[in-house]
Amino acid sequence: MRARVSTASVSRVLNGSGAVTEPTRQRVLRAAQYLRYTPHEAARSLITRRTRTIGVLLPDIHGEYFSELIRGIDRAARLRGLHLLVSSSHGDAGEAALALRAMNGRVDGVLVMSPYLNAKSLDAALPSTLPAVLLNTPEQAGRAPAFVIDDFGGAKAMVEHLRALGYQRIAHIAGPEGNYESAERLRGFQAALGRTLSGRALVLAGNFTEESGYQAGQQLAAAAPRPDAVFAANDMMAIGCLLALREAGVRVPEDIALTGFDDIPIARYITPPLTTVRAQTTELGRQSLEELAHAIEDRESARPDRHTLSTQLVIRESCGQAQRRAR
């Protein structure tokens, strides 16, 4: 162009591919700088069949939990020079499918966390040639590898710990209906109580928001007999519950023990610091992106394996362990 060379040479210089003579190289570089030329990525990826971009489909993008998850994804992506096209808040399968279609031709693969989607609708929504990795997805959803948190094991361990501390009436604030993680955490709760106890177990409805935890807390404060321990299906609900209990004059952990799930950063700052189950959220994001990157580089290598990330009990003050021990 202005450097009196063909577009082919420009391409070769800018991409460092093909052989170019030094003077030509210089002319091109100089002209590119002068014209502030930047290649048009859409055109480029149309021919290279590569976008160096990952589509990320999440139910939400907000709050500490997703912030941690995205951090893991973002870090791993940056290390590999990949960009992120994010799409959030897909209430139902239809919206998710739409979002996925909109990504066709703009991404090399997708990371999908869609707790309400089952295997069928996911398979229907995913272009069959698009590499994908699933996050916290029910069962073996289709052909893609999946990474899941050990929700069942973590919840079970938490409730067993409460029982070991001597609590008798343990309530659960559940996550939203139809959500895979909610269901697994509830299942862990019930498993820990065993057949005899679970009949008496109080399960309150919630939806993972602080507000729903607050409402559950009000119910708990008024309940008779009042449970002596609560296991909330996530930390945000535990925090909402704590607020409601405090307002009602019910002390934590003296009057009632309180625990959560996730170990979001805020959990250790509240008073009392929250006993919870640590989920490796950042790691979940990182590993799933790595797996996806592999699947993109070598499509044959992708196995629809299911990887489960372990959880860990984090004992702080809200479960009253210190008091119990002292007795």
Partner DNA sequence: CTGAAAGCGCTTACAG
CB of 241 to a second copy, least distance (A): 13
- Beta strands in 114-153, from DSSP E residues, in sequence order: 132-135, 146-149
Give how far the C-alpha of residue 59 lies from the chain's centroid of Cα atoms, to the nearest Å.
Answer: 9
Contact pattern for DNA over residues 85 through 124, marking x by CB under 7 A: --------------------x-------------------
Question: Which segment (31-39, 77-85, 108-116, 170-178) binds DNA by CB under 7 A?
Answer: 31-39
87 binds, among a second copy, DNA, none (CB under 5 to 8 A by kind): a second copy
CB of 77 to DNA, least distance (A): 21
Contact 167, 228 (CB under 8 A): yes
**224 contacts DNA (rule: CB under 7 A):** no
Q: How far is CA 74 from CA 56, 82, 136, in A?
A: 10, 9, 18
**Residue-level length of the chain:** 327
Torsions phi, psi for 169 (to 5 deg)? -115, 100
315 binds, among a second copy, DNA, none (CB under 5 to 8 A by kind): none
Question: Which segment (43-51, 60-68, 75-83, 130-138) binds DNA by CB under 7 A?
Answer: 43-51
12 binds, among DNA, a second copy, none (CB under 5 to 8 A by kind): DNA
Could you give the CA distance from residue 141 to residue 118 in angstroms, rounded to a whole number? 7
- The CA-based angle 319-285-111, given to 5 degrees, is 130
261 binds, among a second copy, DNA, none (CB under 5 to 8 A by kind): none
Closer residue to a second copy in complex, CB, 67/198: 67
| Type of residue numbered 124 | A
DSSP class of residue 85?
E
128 binds, among a second copy, DNA, none (CB under 5 to 8 A by kind): a second copy
CB of 177 to DNA, least distance (A): 38
Q: Name, in order, each residue with C-beta under 8 angstroms of 63's C-beta and a sequence gap of 6 or more.
A: 236, 264
**14 contacts DNA (rule: CB under 7 A):** yes
**157 contacts DNA (rule: CB under 7 A):** no
Look up residue 262 and give its two tokens.
């996730």
Could you give the CA distance from residue 277 to residue 264 in angstroms, rounded to a whole number? 10
14 binds, among DNA, a second copy, none (CB under 5 to 8 A by kind): DNA
Q: Select from 272, 276, 271 the least CA-distant residue to 261.
A: 276
Q: Which residues bind DNA (CB under 7 A)?
A: 4-12, 14-15, 17-21, 23-24, 37-40, 43-44, 46-48, 105
